Amino acid sequence: MVRKRQILVIGHNDNGCTPDHEKIAYETGSEIAKSGSVLISGGLGGVMKASCHGAHDAGGLSIGIIPQGEHSFANEFCDIVIPSGMGLTRDFLNALSADGIIIIGGGSGTLSEVCAAYMHKRPMVAIRKTGGTADLYADKYVDHRENIKIIGVDSPKEAVKLILEKITA
């Protein structure tokens, strides 16, 4: 049996997540499910919840790796909840569990996941015009090491298509 591809979706939590972010995240989750991949998220609100909702509605599987130690903190669209009890250090677990990462907006928590993924050379795409971390790093490297370029895209469909190409390359 071949292991399913695992795609992490990161971005704004409830604080800072707009209806546009929710729509984009929902579509991204749906596209991930349609590709036969597993969606991974931080399992809480905002972009995390909307992407899990999209995967759920498209018949996919979503995993939420939450910072708390209790399952009950996860959003209702997580099929599998991993209560890490690690607090914000769970960002590294999220990043390293993924074959590839899709960034939608985001603040410092998103940036933490981006940095962890960058240091381990995980492929990343950022959906442009979603603000925050996505716009700051789309089509750029995080630093002088140039470990991996974060590729900017303009839609959820393009994001999933490109991350799948990067994963299977």
Q: What's the start-to-end Cα distance of the chain, in Å? A: 20
- Structural domain includes residue 71: yes
Domain total in the chain: 1
- Give me the tens of pLDDT residue by residue for the chain, a chain 169 residues long: 689 999 999 999 998 999 999 999 999 999 999 999 999 999 999 999 999 999 999 999 999 999 999 999 999 999 999 999 999 899 999 999 999 999 999 999 999 999 999 999 999 999 999 999 999 999 999 999 999 999 999 999 999 999 999 998 6
What's 109's domain CATH number?
Answer: 3.40.50.450
- From the list 69, 7, 17, the residue with the least C-alpha distance to 38 is 7
d(CA 52, CA 62): 6
Tokens of 23: 């729509």
- Structural domain includes residue 97: yes
pTM over cut 0.95: yes
Domain extent at residue 84? 6-168
- Structural domain includes residue 98: yes
- Structural domain includes residue 1: no
Q: How many other β-carbons are positioned within 10 Å of the β-carbon of residue 129?
A: 12
Q: 112 near 137, Cβ under 8 Å? A: no
